[in-house]
């Protein structure tokens, strides 16, 4: 008879816990900005270098109202999202090719290791000369930084799919393409999603570095420009905006995860 | 005429370290509608033989034919294979799992309601829209049976399909499989470690000896047991004496 009541209590305790978690998360956020502001206004830290939330905020408002910030954000966001999608997609396709041909994967194995170990941002200057200073080379940077590691991780997941699923399909005379579609790919969705999560961070790195090198627009450009004119308000503002958008992208990936993986 | 013939089959596994002879000179034949079991100690190659019969790989030597056709690389031949675990695809619904084979051999459009019919046949409530994780182990193995039967296979190969189940589910499923095979007049081969299961379900039992796998002896199950359900057969007096006989033979092999 008390089961219903106990269940209610259980749900309430869950709700209460969640509220406390949110509460402390909020406290940390407020504390961070307050301490930053106080430390800066009392000159415990150098306000010229570390700026302060109020200065960043007023700069933010100013740049919003004159419309320049919007251009920079959309420019960078476009490059990042595109680089991110191209990187992951290309990684998945390469992984599929490697899975398709075990011989090819044996041949290419050392090259993948080398490409993965190499710092991709070092390719920046070459890309800029080859593709030209602009959107193309920045998107390529955003993609190239994640493509090899995606390939390696996703290919490993393809290989580790339980062979008995393939055996089941084989008894139905499935072709290799059908095996890929019915078993290999769906079984690897969780891995692909976690690769996406890692790639969110990586493509921001690629794009920002790309903008450091060539761009005259975008958040990376604002950072490097702020550094050159010693305006650290600008640097920190750009950083905070990047943090916000990177988080939003991450959340979108989680949303995709919920849609794609129905069985857990 | 024999339905399935295995003639002069040898199989050797190669690895860097060694060449292991798994099967040596296997000859046997099975009639249509017959239920046979392969038993023997571990390493006697019974699962290897089953895989060869399924056409999953080619034996080093020898041939396997069903109704005169080679099984290896034969796209026309449909074979039902049940594994130790259900291996239902967790991201597919029960319905999608059952019709998977049909989809692959492209007959799906002819039988849209086959999933619900098969679920009823294997004694399950309408769970088409559920996912495998929502079902118990016994129910999932029933779904796997439905998936296997959906393509109307010429022969059913059962690779210890009951071994991962609890005892009660196992007994119930034995009865179900036996009843359904009779109803559909299917030929079946069961690989098992369980002598009792082999006796209760089969018409004939092939005993294999290990290293390399050879056909050691064949037992005919008496008619008295064959007409009974597996569960009833386990209670029959002949069952125990046959069990003792096979047990002693098996002991002598190890």
Taking residues A215-230, report their average pLDDT.
88
Pairing of strands B69-70, B61-66: antiparallel
In chain A, domain spans: 3-45, 54-260
CA distance B201 to B32: 16
Helix (H) / strand (E) element for A16: namely helix A3-41
Q: What is the pLDDT of residues A17-41, one digit of tens each?
A: 999 999 999 999 999 999 999 999 9
Helix (H, G, I), strand (E, B) or coil at A140: helix
Q: Which of B75, B80, B104 sits opposite A178 (nearest CB)?
A: B104
Q: Residue B162: phi, psi to the nearest 5?
A: -105, 0
CA distance B226 to A154: 52
In chain B, domain spans: 4-77+154-253, 87-153
Q: Residue A55: phi, psi to the nearest 5?
A: -70, -40
Q: CA nearest B252: which of B37, B27, B41?
A: B41
CATH topology of domain B4-77+154-253: Rossmann fold (3.40.50)
Question: Which chain A residues are Cβ-neighbours of B104 within 8 angstroms?
Answer: 169, 172-174, 178, 182
Q: Which of A171, A182, A189, A258 is best to mutate for the B interface (most B CBs within 10 A)? A: A171
Query: Structure pTM?
Result: 0.81
Return the pLDDT at B141.
Answer: 83
Return the pLDDT at B106.
Answer: 65
Quick check: B87 and A172 CB within 8 A?
A: no
**Sequence-ordered list of residues with C-beta below 8 angstroms from that of B24, at least 6 positions apart, any chain:** B10, B212, B213, B214
DSSP label at A172?
Answer: T
Q: Residue A173: phi, psi to the nearest 5?
A: 55, 35
* Residue A171 near residue B54, CB atoms below 8 Å: yes
Contacts A–B by Cβ distance under 8 A: 49
How far is B249 from chain A, CA to nearest CA, in Å? 32
Quick check: B91 and A263 CB within 8 A?
A: yes
How far is B87 from chain A, CA to nearest CA, in Å? 6
Question: Which chain A residues are Cβ-neighbours of B151 within 8 angstroms?
Answer: 172
Q: CA nearest A73: which of A196, A249, A259, A197?
A: A249
Quick check: A182 and B89 CB within 8 A?
A: yes
Quick check: B101 and A170 CB within 8 A?
A: no
Residue A108 has pLDDT above 60, yes or no: yes
CATH topology of domain A54-260: MetI-like fold (1.10.3720)
CA dihedral A64, A66, A69, A71 (to 10 degrees): 130
Question: Which chain A residues are Cβ-neighbours of B91 within 8 angstroms?
Answer: 186-187, 189, 261-263
Q: What is the pLDDT of residues B117-166, one digit of tens each?
A: 777 777 777 777 788 888 887 788 888 888 888 887 888 888 888 877 78
Q: Which of A162, A170, A187 sits opposite B56 (nearest CB)?
A: A170
Q: What is the pLDDT of residues A174-189, one digit of tens each?
A: 888 888 988 898 888 8
How far is A93 from chain B, CA to nearest CA, in Å? 21
CA distance B112 to A28: 57
- For residue A166, the chain B residue with the least C-alpha distance is B87
Question: Which chain A residues are Cβ-neighbours of B145 within 8 angstroms?
Answer: none
pLDDT in tens, chain B (254 residues): 678 888 787 888 888 888 887 788 888 888 888 888 888 887 778 888 888 888 888 888 888 888 877 777 777 777 888 888 888 888 888 888 888 887 787 665 556 677 777 777 777 777 777 888 888 877 888 888 888 888 878 888 888 888 777 888 788 888 888 888 888 788 889 898 888 888 888 888 888 888 788 788 888 877 777 777 778 777 777 777 778 887 887 888 77
CA distance A98 to A111: 13
Question: Which chain A residues are Cβ-neighbours of B133 within 8 angstroms?
Answer: 263
**Sequence-ordered list of residues with C-beta below 8 angstroms from that of A136, at least 6 positions apart, any chain:** none
Question: Which chain B residues are Cβ-neighbours of A171 within 8 angstroms?
Answer: 54, 56, 79-81
Quick check: B83 and A263 CB within 8 A?
A: no
């Amino acid at each position: 008879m008390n089961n219903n009541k106990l269940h209610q209590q259980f749900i309430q305790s869950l709700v209460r816990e969640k509220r406390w978690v949110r509460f402390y998360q909020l406290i940390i956020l407020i504390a961070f900005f307050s301490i930053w502001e106080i430390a800066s206004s009392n000159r415990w830290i150098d306000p010229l270098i570390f700026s302060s939330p109020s200065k960043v905020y007023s700069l933010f408002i100013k740049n919003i109202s004159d419309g320049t910030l919007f251009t920079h954000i959309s420019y960078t966001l476009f490059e990042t999202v595109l680089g991110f999608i191209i990187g992951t997609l290309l990684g998945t396709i390469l992984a599929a090719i490697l899975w398709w041909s075990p011989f090819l994967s044996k041949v290419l194995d050392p090259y993948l290791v080398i490409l993965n170990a190499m710092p991709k941002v070092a390719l920046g200057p070459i890309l800029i000369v080859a593709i030209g200073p602009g959107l193309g080379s920045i998107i390529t940077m955003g993609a190239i930084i994640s493509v090899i590691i995606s390939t390696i991780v996703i290919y490993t997941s393809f290989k580790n799919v339980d062979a008995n699923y393939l055996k089941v399909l084989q008894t139905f005379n499935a072709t290799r393409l059908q095996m890929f579609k019915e078993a290999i790919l769906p079984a690897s969705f969780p891995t692909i999603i976690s690769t996406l999560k890692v790639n969110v961070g990586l493509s921001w790195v690629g794009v920002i570095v790309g903008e450091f090198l060539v761009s005259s627009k975008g958040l990376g450009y604002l950072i490097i420009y702020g550094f050159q004119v010693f305006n650290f308000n600008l640097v920190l503002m750009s950083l905070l905006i990047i943090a916000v958008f990177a988080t939003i992208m991450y959340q979108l990936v989680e949303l995709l995860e919920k849609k794609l993986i129905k069985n857990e | 005429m024999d339905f399935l013939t295995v003639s002069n089959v040898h199989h050797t596994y190669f690895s860097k370290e060694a060449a292991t002879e798994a099967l040596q000179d296997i000859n046997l034949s099975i009639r249509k509608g017959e239920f046979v079991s392969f038993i023997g100690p571990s390493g006697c190659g019974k699962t290897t033989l089953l895989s060869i019969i399924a056409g999953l790989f080619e034996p080093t030597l020898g041939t396997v034919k069903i109704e005169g056709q080679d099984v290896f690389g034969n796209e026309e031949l449909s074979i039902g294979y049940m594994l130790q675990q259900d291996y239902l695809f967790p991201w597919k619904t029960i319905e999608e799992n059952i019709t998977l084979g049909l989809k692959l051999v492209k007959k799906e459009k002819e039988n849209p309601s086959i999933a619900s019919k098969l679920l009823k046949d294997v004694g399950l409530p309408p769970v088409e829209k559920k996912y495998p994780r929502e079902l118990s182990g016994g129910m999932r193995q029933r779904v796997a049976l439905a998936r296997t039967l959906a393509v109307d296979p010429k022969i059913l190969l059962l690779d210890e399909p009951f071994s991962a189940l609890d005892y009660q589910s196992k007994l119930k499923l034995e009865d179900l499989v036996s009843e359904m095979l009779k109803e559909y007049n299917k030929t079946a081969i069961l690989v098992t470690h369980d002598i009792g299961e082999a006796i209760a379900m089969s018409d004939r039992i092939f005993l294999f000896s290990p290293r390399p796998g050879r056909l050691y002896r064949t037992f005919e199950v008496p008619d008295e047991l064959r007409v009974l359900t597996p569960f009833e057969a386990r209670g029959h007096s002949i069952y125990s004496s046959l069990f003792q006989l096979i047990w002693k033979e098996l002991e002598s092999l190890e």
